[in-house]
């Protein structure tokens, strides 16, 4: 028996849409406490990438 929990808290990860032509994204965490050194992620054929620093999720439109 497996029941799916219905009231799971939603992770507060910011989702950022980027142009579908983009081959990658740069993330520096934005301003404030989530800021981190600028890093670049390539989509590499995937529809999304997740920043390892701030857990932002980048989605190609």
The edge-to-edge listing of strands for the beta sheet with 15-18 is: 15-18, 57-60, 48-50
Minimum Å gap between C-beta 9 and Zn ion is 21
For residue 51, state whether it binds Zn ion (rule: CB under 5 A). Answer: yes
Q: Which is nearer to Zn ion, 5 or 32 (CB)?
A: 32
For residue 27, state whether it binds Zn ion (rule: CB under 5 A). Answer: yes
Please report which helix (H) or strand (E) contains residue 39, including its range: strand 39-42
Minimum Å gap between C-beta 4 and Zn ion is 30
The residues that touch Zn ion, with contacts defined as CB under 5 A, are 27, 29, 51, 53-54, 56
């Amino acid at each position: 028996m497996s029941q799916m929990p219905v009231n799971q808290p939603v992770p507060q990860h910011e989702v950022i849409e980027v142009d579908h032509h983009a081959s990658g994204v740069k993330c520096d965490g934005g301003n404030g406490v989530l800021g981190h050194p600028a890093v670049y992620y390539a989509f590499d054929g995937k529809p999304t990438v997740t920043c390892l620093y701030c857990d932002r999720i980048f989605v190609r439109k």
